[in-house]
Structure 1
Amino acid sequence: MIAQFYQSGVLKNPKLVFVLLIIAILSFGYYSKDFRLDASSETLLIEGDPDLAYLKEVTERYGSKDFLILTYTPNEGMVTDNSINNLLSLKNKIQSLNWVHSVITLLDIPLLNNSDAPLQERLESFKTLKDEDVDKDRGFNEILNSPVFRNFVISESGKTSGIIVNIKENEKLENIENLSKEEIETYKDKIKKQNHENILEIRQVIQSYGDVGKIYLGGIPMIADDMMTFIKSDIIVFGLGVLLFIIATLWFVFRKLIWIIVPISSCLFSVVIMMGLLGILGWKVTVISSNFIALMLILTMAMNIHMSTRFLQLRKDHPTKNNFEIISLTTNKMFWPIIYTVFTTIFAFLSLIFSGIKPIIDFGWMMTFGLITSFIVTFTLLPTLLNFAPTKNISLKKEQDSKITKFLSMLSLKHKNAIFGVTAVIVILSIIGISRLEVENSFINYFNKNTEIYKGMKLIDEELGGTTPLEVILKFPVAENEEPTAENEESTAEDDEFEDWEDEEDTNDEKYWFTKDKINKIASVHNYLDSLPQVGKVLSFSSIIDVATQLNNNKPLGTLEMGVLYSKIPESIKTEIIDPYLSIKDNEARISLRIIDSQENLRRNDLINKINFDLKDKLGLEESEFKLAGVLILFNNLLQSLFKSQILTLGLVMVGIFSMFIILFRNIKLSLIGVVPNFIAAFFILGIIGLLGIPLDMMTITIAAITIGIAVDNSIHYIYRFKEEFSKIKNYSKTLKKCHSTVGVAILNTSITIVFGFSILVLSKFIPTIYFGMFTGLAMLFAMISVLTLLPVLILAVKPFGK
């Protein structure tokens, strides 16, 4: 039924089909204007992750703005007149940008130990480094030795300072629940465009100060914008790179213009139609799916090479048949093997939908629709264009046997034991390597060392206390109502800075929140976190107490004094340095720390588990008394979830593909033989990654499933052809030679195209994409060798077609 419709509807009406395809490409081409990119952090989170909801709650409670951070390393000393004037000028220039809320620099830090005036007077009218009557060296040393600001706005060496640029809040959408999806997307696009313009503006400012020292830009908004630039660059570079390589491959294989025009037309039609479809569906391309155009080109090309090679072989075998008959014969013989290769590859990509991560799920669906599109275009456009082509220009003048496939066929026939031996070694190495696999979320290592992102993050990491934030929220028992009194206070000296404050009338009961148990708990957790080598800067109310102790002539404060200090401190200081770490209303304290992301051998999941264990086991906290939150937790959740889901779905892919082989070949032995070389290839690549000690990330973790899905195409084509030829030749060895010289050549050509196509991904600036391209290409090369050596050896050994 399908064959009849295809024969009469498509092959016999090439002009109508061509017109319909032109209408399709123009229609979908129009909607490709809605093709969108997205590099926001939301694209790398698990939908419905409770830790994300909790982080939003913490952010709202303790206050947080989007911010950029600049590192400033002046050419001369930090507190010279020139350096201070340059920093002040830079601050004012940035502050004048209409999207900037505030700029915090070394020059804005309150100096509370810069004179001998009473503390309350120093707090109420504090000085900063930019004031003329300040002892700048004394002030700088105060900041440098401050438990709060050291490794935060100034490096321990005193050579690099941080500039925090707080960004104004964007207009919030009102009645968001009543808005359409299009309106929300328009709003998000507007925000991204504004962010891009902001980054360009601040980079122009930085550039104008390039002669005063080294200045690097960092922060989540900059990373998101640069990632967007990377995605755009990758799409263009991958697309053009793969296209040029495909043209070169086609010329090398076929040496005729017609065999470049026809496959390239199929590729371009497929890609344009798919871009339009993505625009219509509103699916955005992210870092993870940025290589989908390259993948579509590669997979479409593989289908076209198989079709074209078979067409030429049939033309050579049937010189008396006309062009239409050869086209009909080609499509008839190639329909089922290609549709099964499409189904198996789709099955592999559909395994990604179990990840729970939207961009990975979308990538799976993108490639599914992309493969269906490529299949339809290949079986309509290719025969249509061949119908139009002059007969004399289609055939090749001469066809040479491939030396590579000839060598591999000889290897399969004469060295069976050696092939089995090598396979056994590979399986053992794979098992060892897979046992060493681990997932990691080292954000800094996702970027090339020459990029500004890497340089900025590295400097912040090494000089300003780390990059990846982690929060520890301490929750105090509600029953704890102890009020600090003079009886339970530690004795203080007569000259205590806080002595005079306690006699003043104060109706603020918040000061009674500060009890010894709470303060000790905050201090013990703070000190424990600070002792971890993987942790950079730790900030909490304990840091504020350390500053107050310094101001109190290095005498410890009693809890009542802490309460008085809290109630008397000016609101401007309280908002900036105390409120982010205490929520008296919620009976909570927040400890903020940053992980030194570039530290070698850092294992983030192990660190999170260690902190959770030690807080309970070593510090004696109940599970209900603390909770970890932050970006580190979210990204760790993402990778751990992806690792589990992909290991589980890898089994599903294997079972699914094996089932498809049984349906296709109706032979269990043959089905087992067909999947073995590809499974070994996929596991060997995972083994190599494990042996090399390269942690799996959000892209490389999908290699095994995708490799099996793509590589298994070669097995299908080889077995399908072997079955066909064996029914005529009735001799395994002769059939093997025949298959290697026919379908083997097509497998070699498509595999080389795929391998080098994936190798184009090494031009990316995003390290996971480079690894993905490199290891998937290597897996495809290994799979091709396996299909042309191990697969025929297994066929010869098992004899699945009978003796």
Structure 2
Amino acid sequence: MDLLRKAARIIVRYRVAFALVALFLLIVSAYGIQSLRFESDLSSMLPEGDPAIKDYNALQNEFQSGDSTLIVVKIDSIEPGGVYDVRDPKVIEAIYELEQRLRRREYVTDTMSIADIYMKVLGRLPRSEEEAKFVLDMLPEEQRYSLVSRDYTMTMIVVTINREKKTETLVRVYQGVQEDIESVKFPQNVEVIQTGNIGITYRILQLLQRDLNKTMAISFLLVIALLLYFYRSPVKALIPLIPLVFGVVMTLGFMGLAGIPLDLATTTIGAMLVGMGIDYGIHVTNRYYEERRNGKDVEEAAAEAVAETGKALLGAALTTIAGFAAMYLSSLPMLHNLATTLILGLSLAALNAVVITPAVIILEEDVMMRLKGHHVRPEVRSGTGAIGRFFTSLGEAIKARPGAFLGAVFLITLLFAYGVTQVTTEVRLEKFIPPGMPEIEALMDVRTEFGGQDELYVLVRADDVRNPAVVRAMYRFENLVKADSYYNGVFGSQSPADIVYEKYGYIPNDREKISEALSEYQGPSMVSGDYSMAIIKFTGDFGGTSMDDFRRIMRYFEEETKLAQETQFPPGVELSLTGDLYLNYVLDQLTNVEINRISTYGTVFVVLIVLLLFRRIRVSVAMITPMFLGALWTVGFMGLAGIPFTQSLAGVISMIVGLGVDYGMHLTHRFMEEMNEGNPKPIVTAVGSVGPGILAGALTTAGGFLALLAGELPTIHDFGLTLAFGIFASMTSAYLVTPALLQIFYGKKTGGGSP
């Protein structure tokens, strides 16, 4: 305590110097913000050493595959003068023109549409609608309706893309394709939409950028409104807000300087820091005003505020950071980035609260002294009036019947325990875009009309994939999988075996003939340059079903691929699944593992820090019990509300644990302080004095999180709602459980006894 009081005196004496240092760091941070970049690439969310990443890179490098965009062409109205059928020659001509433009792009490796059918059959485009209908009617029904919808109001262009996995490249590819779409004049009544992997990822990136600015602005507005209510004065409301602004700007600036990207997780950092960081400043400010109301002068009140809240703030910051640090144990890079930014941001918020907040308070007092000629004793709404009376009454009620409050908590816990059993996970990128977006609607149309265009690849590694035994095995495997289409959602497939079979009508037992067929093939590469690898591409509806069905289909492919390698392919041949869709599945499996690991280690870290700081079992139990309940209630709420765990929510339990222990810590610290000073009703004083500050801090923290509801991405909504509920759950359990346990543990010692 003496050390903290000395620090307070230094802050008072050198407050101008502290302000100048903070301003310098603010300027450096503003420069760093200009270097912030956004990241939405799925492969960057997986650990570099994961085998799935190795296979995915091989797919990209050797076959220029694994990335595609779908261009949906559909009749969207029936206005007079327009076309009503995609078989209209004017539509087919526009599609062909668009394909030619796309093929000139260096990153486009192949395109496929109904225009290609006409060029192959007629050697030209159809001149009349009757001719167009005649050619399509010649095709087998299955092939025909893989190109056009059954009512002939929709068709599509499949564009295969080879690009660097960088955000800048994604933007360039999407905008280039969109530019080509807009440069082609389609007939009236026709709508053209870019969707698929490229279109959806681009839309997510665009929404990330919008959501960062929108949610951070709204969180600031919510926090300012709450501060104005609690402090009754715009000037006093700015006191805890100024250090927070410095902390948020510094954090974003350091992210830019350190090259940490804004992704599905870290995009929430602005609103989260606004919500969480304000808590520290509020506790220092409230304690200062309490000491001023008790008659202490400015310097004494500042020293007391820093000394008495400093230990609790240090413990709260350390436990919160410990909860976040558990995310470093995850193998998911995006959680490492989230942990780094949260720890950095909260460290700056805590430092600013202890160093800058008292300096700003004293500066404000000095200004008011010069304006009015005397110090004004502050009145804060959170500690007076109805709110103050409520918490005093709550403290009296808990002192009288602590067991009854624990019983009520037990009943609440039973309800949320059921919710825990209902929790699911979701990692598919398409589910991160809000319903109604053109890209999602178009993708749903594709799945409905064409049986799906999701792509899944099987990578075949061998000494020489032209080996007739390997080619025959590929052909058998491919057809066995297609025979199970009712179960696995497969709509079509393509492999080197198909190329050979199409040329000869069978698979020859002659390597030279196989080589000849492969060398004559003009389509997308299916065999690597050294013939050590080949791919089998399956197309179907794999990701558009429920998450359980998606996992079932992926497990089917894993099992069939393993079985085929063991029984159908020659010894030494290796098969492995890959592609963007399979990366989603791998991420899903990792997310389930990471949730348990991060939550467990985060809880252990927080408990150890509490024990090390306070070194008393009963005190520690009173602090950490609300933390456990807050985390349990939050998971139960997710299950009851249908909120799934996602990549960004994998660390949410560790975060709630780190945040939730703060409330019990502030109550316990004040209780022990009052008890040691001989207060006969320490629990009443603790709840009555600290309770309003916790409420103000929780409301501003939850307000920052609830600002995420203004974001357009569903995963951002879920993140904000879950964290906001977690804050209220932790606060409520702290109000009900911590005082009740302290009263049971120490009631007789304070003279109050316990039932």
Shorter-chain TM-score: which interval? 0.7 to 0.9
> Are the equivalent residues in 2 in contact too, given 1:475–1:626 (CA < 8 A)?
yes
Q: Distance in 1 between matches of 2:285 and 2:632?
A: 32
* 1:598 equivalent in structure 2: 544
Q: Deviations over 1:313-346 (max 9, x none)?
A: 11111x2x32122111111111111111111111
- Structure 1 residue 154 and structure 2 residue 130: aligned? no
SS of the equivalent of 1:742 reads helix
Question: CA 1:12 to 1:589, structure 2 compared with 1: closer, same or farther past 3 Å?
Answer: closer
Report how far residue 370 of structure 1 moved: 1.0
The residue matched to 1:70 in structure 2 has which SS? strand
Among residues 105, 108, 126, which one is paired with 2:113 in the alignment? 105
Q: In 2, Cα distance between the equivalents of 1:277 and 1:163?
A: 43
| Contact 2:239 2:357 survives alignment (8 Å) | yes
CA apart distance, 1:35: 2.5
**1:395 pairs with 2:378:** yes
Q: SS of 1:699's equivalent?
A: coil
Q: CA 1:800–1:158 in structure 2 vs 1: closer, same or farther (change >3 Å)?
A: farther
AA of the residue aligned to 2:136: F
2:78 alignment counterpart: none
Aligned equivalent of 1:763:
710
Match of 2:666 among 703, 710, 717: 717
In the alignment, what sits opposite 1:376?
A: 351
Give the corresponding residue for 1:262. Answer: 239
Instruction: Go from structure 1 to structure 2 and tell me whether the alpha carbon gap of 1:513 and 1:135 turns closer, same or farther (over 3 Å shift).
Output: farther
Check if 1:137 corresponds to 2:145. Answer: no
Report the equivalent of 1:461: 447
- Say if 1:587 and 1:571 are closer, same or farther in 2 by CA, change over 3 A: closer
Aligned-pair distance for 1:739? 2.0
- CA offset at residue 66 of structure 1? 4.8
Paired amino acid for 1:586: S
Cα deviations across residues 145-185 of structure 1 (Å, max 9, x unaligned)? Answer: 355x753x434554321113455767xxxxxxxxxxxxxxx
SS of residue in 2 equivalent to 1:440: coil
Kept in 1: contact 2:11–2:355 (CA 8 A): yes
How many angstroms apart in 1 are the aligned matches of 2:44 and 2:511?
A: 43
The equivalent residue for 1:84 is 92
- Pairing 1:532–2:490 present: no
C-alpha change, 1:559 and 1:645, in structure 2 (3 Å) is: closer
* Distance (Å, rounded) in 1 between the aligned partners of 2:565 and 2:166: 44
- Maintained 8 Å contact 1:526/1:540: no
Alpha-carbon contact 1:525-1:619 (below 8 Å) kept: no
Task: For 1:137, give the aligned amino acid.
Answer: K
Amino acid at match of 1:674: M
Q: Is the 8 A contact 2:526 2:534 kept in 1?
A: no
Separation in 2, partners of 1:518, 1:583: 18
Verify the 8 A CA contact 1:253 1:749 in the aligned structure 2.
yes
Give the TM-score, by structure 1 length: 0.82
Deviations along 1:649-686, one digit per CA (max 9) or x if unpaired, are 32222222122222232210121121111211111221
| DSSP 3-state at the match of 2:446 | helix
CA contact (8 A) 2:599 2:651 kept: no
The structure 2 residue matched to 1:640, chosen from 580, 585, 589, is 589
Partner of 1:498: none
For 1:525-584, what per-residue CA distance to the aligned partner results, in whole angstroms no more than 9, with x for missing partners?
3323x23254444444676689789xxxxxxx4434999996776967x2317x537999
Shift of 1:202: 4.6
SS of the residue 2:633 aligns to: helix
Question: Counterpart of 2:55 in structure 1: which amino acid?
Answer: Y
SS at 2:379 equivalent: coil
Check whether the contact 2:324–2:342 (CA below 8 A) recurs between aligned residues.
yes
Q: CA deviation at 1:58?
A: 3.2
Alignment of 1:135-534 (within 5 A): 135-143=131-139, 145=141, 147=143, 150-151=145-146, 153-155=147-149, 158-166=152-160, 191=169, 194-195=172-173, 197-198=175-176, 201-202=179-180, 204-205=182-183, 209=186, 211-317=188-294, 319=295, 321-389=296-364, 390-391=368-369, 392=375, 395-396=378-379, 399-402=384-387, 404-406=390-392, 408-409=394-395, 412-413=398-399, 416-473=402-459, 519-528=475-484, 530-534=485-489
Q: 1:156 to 1:596 in 2, by over 3 A?
A: farther
CA distance in 1, matches of 2:390, 2:100: 68
* Structure 1 residue 352, shift from structure 2 partner: 1.0
Give the Å deviation of 1:596. 3.5
Asked whether the 8 Å contact 1:444–1:457 carries over to 2, the reply is no
What secondary structure sits across from 2:638 in the alignment? helix
Whole-angstrom distance in 2 between the partners of 1:365 and 1:594: 39
Residues 303, 338 of structure 1: 8 Å contact kept: yes
Moved more, 560-569 or 715-724: 560-569
Could you tell me how far apart the structure 2 residues matched to 1:247 and 1:372 are?
22
* Gap runs ≥5 in structure 1: 115-125, 171-186, 481-509, 550-556
- Number of the residue aligned with 1:488: none
Q: Is the 8 A contact 2:565 2:574 kept in 1?
A: no
Structure 2: state its 5+ residue gaps: 76-82, 370-374, 751-755
1:3 deviation in Å? 3.2
TM-fit CA distance, 1:787: 0.7
Task: State the alpha-carbon separation in 1 of the partners of residues 250 and 509 from structure 2.
Answer: 71
Larger Cα Rg: Structure 1 or Structure 2?
1
Q: How much has 1:279 moved relative to structure 2? A: 2.3
Residue 723 of structure 1: how far off its partner (Å) = 1.0
Distance change >3 Å, CA 800–CA 451, structure 1 → 2 = farther
SS at match of 2:266: coil
Q: 1:621 aligns with which of 567, 576, 581?
A: 567
Q: Measure, in 1, the Cα distance between the counterparts of 2:229 and 2:250.
A: 28
Structure 2 letter corresponding to 1:361? H
How far apart in 2 are the matches of 1:200 and 1:34? 27
Local SS of the residue matching 1:327: helix
Deviation at 1:237, TM superposition (A): 0.8
8 Å CA contact retained: 2:65, 2:160:
no
**1:472, 1:629 within 8 Å by CA — same for their partners in 2?**
yes
State the Cα distance separating 1:308 from its structure 2 match: 1.3
Cα gap change, 1:714/1:209 in structure 2, threshold over 3 Å: closer, same or farther?
farther
Distance 1:606 1:190, change over 3 A: closer
1:712-735 deviations in whole A, cap 9, x for unaligned?
11111111111112223543xx32
Q: Deviations over 1:393-436 (max 9, x none)?
A: 56128732415535644553455444333333344444443344
Return 84-93 or 72-81, whichever deviates more.
84-93
Cα distance in 2 between the residues matched to 1:788 and 1:591: 58
Letter in 1 for 2:362: N
- Write the distance in 1 (CA, Å) between the matches of 2:341 and 2:748: 38
- Structure 2 length-normalised TM: 0.86
In 1, Cα distance between equivalents of 2:245 and 2:177: 34
Paired position in structure 2 for 1:504: none
User: Taking structure 1 as reference, are residues 378 and 150 closer, same or farther at Cα in structure 2, changes over 3 Å only?
Assistant: same
Partner of residue 612 from structure 1, selected from 558, 565, 585: 558
Q: Quick one: structure 1 residues 591 and 792, their matched pair in 2 at CA, closer, same or farther if it must change by over 3 Å?
A: same
Q: Which amino acid aligns with 2:738?
A: L
Separation in structure 1 between the aligned mates of residue 105 and residue 60 of structure 2, nearest angstrom = 25
Change (3 A) 1:745 1:2: same
Residue in 2 that maps onto 1:73:
74
Alignment-derived partner of residue 495 in structure 1: none
Percent identity of the aligned residues?
Answer: 16
Q: 1:354 Cα deviation (Å)?
A: 1.3
> RMSD of the alignment, in Å?
3.6
Q: 1:264 to 1:14 in 2, by over 3 A?
A: same
Deviation at 1:609, TM superposition (A): 2.4
Alpha-carbon distance in 1 for matches of 2:20, 2:723: 37
